[in-house]
Amino acid sequence: MNLPMKDEILKRFLLAKDTPISGQSLADELGISRTAVWKHLQTLQEEGYVFETIKKKGYVLKGKPDKVDPARITSFLTTQRFGRNIQYLDEVTSTQSVAHELAREGVHDGTVVIAETQTMGKGRMARPWESTKGKGVWMTVVIRPDVPPSQAPQFTLVAAVAIVNAIKSVCKNFTPTIKWPNDILINGRKCTGILTEMLAEMDRVEALLIGIGINANQQMEDFPPELQTIATSLSIEEQAEINRPQLVAELLNYLELYSNLYIKEGFKPIKALWEESSGTIGKQIKATTLREVIEGKAIGITEEGVLEIQLDNGEIKGVYSADIEIM
Ligand code: BT5
């Protein structure tokens, strides 16, 4: 697959390591003008790549945009509220815990907590979440929608749709799919998990904490053995380095767009977007809930985001939360 010209240039610098590459040789090799080469280098610099000029020899790539610091994220943001307040931490137990504290202190809708690594990253039901340092997106977005607690699970689906679109805007070599309710898969392997937690009163959500973990730049050996058969990263699938700040910003751009859409028009438009990217609907599945194991065909989600499974005897069961195995 042909890469965009800017990425072709970047790839050559990554391969050349410390050997300088001249603007003229790039222009000749790629069949473009030296001015065009220079413009692409400018764009790469704006994205956080650092080039050193070596007299009479050319350029060497000296730095990559490898931190998810707020300045880099903000340079790609188009939002009004989401990501306009970012708490950036090098190491944290879990971004969810920090977000809980901030939410209780009353931070604004769209506040983000993001870290380079988590020492106690968590999935649903306190399962551990592997958060390799500097390689993924480990973040929590605090949102404050004016909805009853019963609608909170729908925000996992809003987030899933936003994540799929953000991934599609930075990766071109594959199509991610959503596995109900909270996983994003690439070719059957998990690249993203979502954990939605809530601070609420009886009839009103005070804050939703949308925890998102995306494997961005891990290579297979970065994963512990037990994940090597079930997990993947965007970089492995795209065969390129992922610009994490750009990915985070795209995600926040889409998350604001879709939560606004949800607040304005309800779940219906989100449901349609979700179904377009679903890898669950139409499949034979096994759903393990806290109470039972249900096997059947996933036939759709309801207006509430509940998964409907048709059993062999024709009966339809609705599932609010479960672990899904696609058969
Ligand atoms: C999830 O739970 O998938 C939700 C993960 C949410 C993580 C984010 S990171 C930022 C924020 N802060 C946190 O502390 N958490 C959130 P669940 O569906 O229960 O899946 C958990 C299972 O996924 C584990 O039992 C492993 O089998 C697998 N797993 C763990 N780490 C993984 C990784 N990096 N990539 C793929 N699979 C992983």
Residue of 86, 113, 120, 129 with the most ligand 1 atoms within 8 Å of its CB, for mutation: 129
pLDDT of residue 49: 87
pLDDT of residue 263: 95
CB-based contact 221:141 (threshold 8 Å)? no
Q: What angle do CA 162, 141, 246 make, to 5 degrees?
A: 55
Give the CATH number for residue 295.
2.30.30.100
- Tell me: do 296 and 269 sit in the same domain: no
What ligand 1 atom has the least distance to the C-alpha of 213?
A: 9
Looking at the structure of the chain, the number of domains it has is: 3
> Looking at residues 231-238, what average pLDDT do you find?
98
Strand-pairing partners, residue 118, are: 92
Q: With a 6 A CB cut-off, is 205 part of the ligand 1 pocket?
A: no
pLDDT of residue 305: 87
Using CA positions, which residue lies closest to atom 16 of ligand 1? 211
Letter for the amino acid at 245?
Answer: P
- Tell me: do 291 and 250 sit in the same domain: no
CA of 189 to the centre of ligand 1 (A): 13
- Tell me: do 179 and 222 sit in the same domain: yes
- Tell me: do 58 and 180 sit in the same domain: no
- Tell me: do 170 and 297 sit in the same domain: no
Q: With a 6 A CB cut-off, is 192 part of the ligand 1 pocket?
A: no
Give me the percent of the chain exceeding a pLDDT of 90.
Answer: 87
- CA dist., res. 191 & res. 178, Å (int): 10
Using CA positions, which residue lies closest to atom 7 of ligand 1? 213
- Tell me: do 185 and 254 sit in the same domain: yes
What does pLDDT average to over the chain?
Answer: 94
Q: In this structure, what token pair is assigned to residue 135?
A: 């390689």
For 294, the domain range is: 283-326
- Tell me: do 264 and 117 sit in the same domain: yes
The string of pLDDT tens digits covering residues 56-77 is 999 999 987 778 988 788 888 9
> Looking at residues 107-125, what average pLDDT do you find?
97
Using CA positions, which residue lies closest to atom 11 of ligand 1? 211
Q: At what angle do helices 23-30 and 34-46 cross, to 10 degrees?
A: 110
- Tell me: do 185 and 320 sit in the same domain: no
Q: Please enumerate, by residue number, every residue annotated as part of a binding site for biotin.
A: 118, 190
Query: Residue 133, Cα to own-chain centre: how many angstroms?
Result: 16
Give the CATH number for residue 39.
1.10.10.10
Question: Quick check: 39 pLDDT over 60?
Answer: yes
- Tell me: do 114 and 22 sit in the same domain: no
- Tell me: do 134 and 246 sit in the same domain: yes
3-state secondary structure of 268: helix
Question: Quick check: 1 pLDDT over 50?
Answer: no
Q: Which of 168, 17, 20, 27 is nearest to 9 (CA)?
A: 27
> Looking at residues 7-12, what average pLDDT do you find?
88
- Tell me: do 45 and 132 sit in the same domain: no
The string of pLDDT tens digits covering residues 95-109 is 999 999 999 999 999
